[in-house]
């Protein structure tokens, strides 16, 4: 009997690996500690509508990912977003249009990973704490004391700090993952009763606690919501204010937003803050995947490549490719 392959993490890297393996005829079982798929590429349903609090949009430059995104477009999962882009520098806000194609999930980022999940076997709300390597195969232990397995291989598709803990059976891989620093991002969503008087729909920011802001409601499929905005703080500001209360984060980033807009923005009718502890790798790497093929253990994710959606997808794809190649 062929055993299934365990995949830890239902973000875009884990689901990329899962789909490539499924297409090659392998059974997979995905585990995620969250209640749904997507990880940092998920969207949140709120009283103000669907909000993308993590990944805002993505670009596709590698031919393999371009082909994949075209398939997602045919499936109706993604749509091109063409925001009125601005740049904020030296206290000046200036339009900054460009020719770059930017994709978003519609009606939210979660549409993509939900689509990729399809009918694959998944256990949500299941945090894996230990991997046990038996004679020939693997067992997974979860935080509730449950045991899962046997599996022929394990693919860990979590941020590097969470992968390190699970890589104990492969000390070399564990020490490589332990060397990856991942930086936090505070995200704030605001909704205003009447639309702010600006054509701006996205802005790259320099010289502010903010790094990026987006008019969430300008993305395709979110037009039935009030004037919603998502603000991202810089890594530096997020690190300095890691333990600030959510209320204080909202107040400070709303203040930075008002300063940047050069007009006092009204009090929001809705606000929320979310802290991404492991938002982005401090540096890009070119590993593709970390693998101990003889042991049947692989680690992938954005931190193995570019720290973007595209890098995460390519890393998961590479994990599956290496696993299949080793079996042949
Ligand atoms: P993740 O999405 O982090 O998935 C890992 C999954 O593993 C999670 O679902 C988690 O719950 C699960 N998990 C972790 N530990 C365990 C465990 N022990 N047991 C079970 N499950 C576990 N990229 C872009 O291209 N464009 C952008 O505009 C952009 N903006 C961003 C803004 C923010 C604020 C953030 C945080 C990220 C942004 N990114 C952006 C980066 C992009 O979101 C990530 O590169 C990508 O989503 C990472 O995917 P992943 O599958 O590698 O990891
Ligand atoms: P992209 O090509 O749109 O942007 C890459 C970078 O180029 C931007 O960060 C910005 O500095 C610059 N840029 C692009 N277009 C610009 C314009 N019209 N005007 C001024 N500057 C412009 O997208 P790509 O390469 O796919 O990058 C994804 C984005 O996701 C980046 O902005 C990155 O900072 C962001 N990101 C944020 C994370 C977080 O935790 N906040 C984590 C990972 C990615």
Query: How many angstroms does the Cα of residue 159 sit away from the middle of ligand 1?
Result: 7
Q: Is 123 helix (H, G, I), strand (E, B) or coil?
A: strand
Whether 104 is in the pocket of ligand 1, judged by its Cβ within 6 Å, is no
Which residue's CA lies nearest to atom 38 of ligand 1? 55
Least distant ligand from the CA of 161: 1
Which residue's CA lies nearest to atom 7 of ligand 1? 9
DSSP code of residue 305: T
Which residue's CA lies nearest to atom 35 of ligand 1? 54
Least distant ligand from the CA of 237: 2
Determine contact, residues 148/142, Cβ cutoff 8 Å: yes
Q: What are phi and psi of 214, to 5 degrees?
A: -135, 145
Q: How many H-runs (helices) and E-runs (strands) does the chain carry?
A: 8, 20
Query: How many angstroms does the Cα of residue 167 sit away from the middle of ligand 2?
Result: 31
Whether 276 is in the pocket of ligand 1, judged by its Cβ within 6 Å, is yes
pLDDT digits (tens, 9 = 90+) for 232-290: 999 999 999 999 999 999 999 999 999 999 888 899 999 999 999 999 999 999 999 99
Residue 101: predicted pLDDT: 98
Q: Ligand 2 pocket: which of 55, 204, 279 to mutate (most atoms <8 Å of CB)?
A: 204
Domains in the chain (CATH in brackets) are 5-44+112-179+285-327 (3.50.50.60), 63-109+181-281 (3.90.660.10)
Radius of gyration of the chain measured on its C-alpha atoms: 20
The whole-angstrom separation of Cα 60 and Cα 66 is 5
Which of 83, 111, 113 lies closest to 17 in space, CA to CA? 113
For residue 148, what are the contacts with CB-CB under 8 A and spacing of at least 6? 6, 29, 31, 123, 139, 140, 141, 142
The whole-angstrom separation of Cα 204 and Cα 208 is 11
Which residue's CA lies nearest to atom 19 of ligand 2? 96
Residue 169: predicted pLDDT: 95
Q: Kindly list the protein residues whose Cβ atom lies closer than 6 A to any atom of ligand 2.
A: 58-59, 85, 87, 96, 98, 100, 185, 204, 211, 232, 279-280, 307-308
Least distant ligand from the CA of 52: 1
Atom from ligand 2 closest to the CA of residue 58: 26
Tens of each residue's pLDDT in the chain, 328 residues: 689 999 999 999 999 999 999 999 999 999 999 999 999 999 999 999 999 999 999 999 999 999 999 999 999 999 999 999 999 999 999 999 999 999 999 999 999 999 999 999 999 999 999 999 988 899 999 999 999 999 999 999 999 999 999 999 999 999 999 999 999 999 999 999 999 999 999 999 999 999 999 999 999 999 899 999 999 999 999 999 999 999 999 999 999 999 999 888 899 999 999 999 999 999 999 999 999 999 999 999 999 999 999 999 999 999 999 999 998 8
Least distant ligand from the CA of 301: 1
The whole-angstrom separation of Cα 285 and Cα 296 is 22
Residue 1: predicted pLDDT: 67
Annotated binding site: 13, 32-33, 40, 56-61, 96-98, 128, 185, 302, 308-309
Atom from ligand 1 closest to the CA of residue 300: 52
Residue 223: predicted pLDDT: 85
Annotated binding site for substrate: 57-61, 96-98, 185, 308
Determine contact, residues 145/290, Cβ cutoff 8 Å: no
Determine contact, residues 275/242, Cβ cutoff 8 Å: yes
Kind plus residue range of the DSSP H or E element containing 205: strand 202-205
Query: How many angstroms does the Cα of residue 102 sit away from the middle of ligand 2?
Result: 10
Query: How many angstroms does the Cα of residue 151 sit away from the middle of ligand 2?
Result: 38
């Amino acid at each position: 009997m062929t055993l299934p392959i365990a995949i830890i993490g239902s973000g875009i890297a884990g689901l990329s690996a899962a789909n490539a393996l499924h297409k090659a005829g392998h059974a997979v079982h995905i585990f995620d500690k969250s209640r749904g798929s997507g990880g940092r590429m998920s969207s949140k349903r709120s009283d103000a509508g669907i909000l993308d609090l993590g990944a805002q949009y993505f670009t596709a430059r590698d031919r393999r990912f371009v082909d994949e995104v075209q398939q997602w477009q045919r499936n109706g999962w993604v749509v091109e977003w063409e925001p009125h882009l601005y740049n904020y520098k030296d206290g000046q806000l200036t339009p900054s249009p460009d020719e770059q194609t930017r994709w978003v999930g519609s009606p939210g980022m979660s549409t993509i990973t939900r689509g990729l999940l399809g009918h694959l076997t998944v256990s949500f709300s299941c945090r894996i704490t230990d991997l046990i390597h038996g004679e020939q195969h693997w067992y997974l232990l979860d935080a509730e004391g449950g045991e899962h397995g046997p599996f022929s291989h394990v693919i860990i598709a979590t941020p590097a700090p969470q992968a390190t803990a699970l890589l104990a059976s492969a000390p070399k891989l564990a020490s490589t993952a332990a060397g990856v620093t991942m930086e936090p991002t505070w995200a704030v969503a605001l909704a205003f009763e009447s639309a702010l008087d600006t054509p701006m729909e996205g802005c790259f920011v320099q010289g502010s606690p903010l790094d990026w802001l987006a008019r969430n409601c300008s993305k395709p499929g979110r037009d039935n919501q009030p004037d919603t905005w998502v603000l991202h703080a810089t890594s530096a500001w997020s690190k300095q204010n890691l333990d600030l209360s959510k209320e204080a984060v909202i107040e400070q980033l709303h203040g930075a937003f008002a300063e940047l807009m050069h007009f006092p923005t009204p009090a929001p009718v809705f606000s929320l803050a979310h802290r991404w502890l492991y938002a982005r790798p401090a540096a890009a790497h070119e590993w593709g995947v970390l693998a101990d093929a003889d042991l049947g253990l692989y680690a992938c994710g954005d931190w193995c490549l570019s720290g973007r959606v595209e890098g995460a997808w390519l890393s998961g794809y590479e994990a599956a490719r290496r696993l299949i190649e080793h079996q042949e």
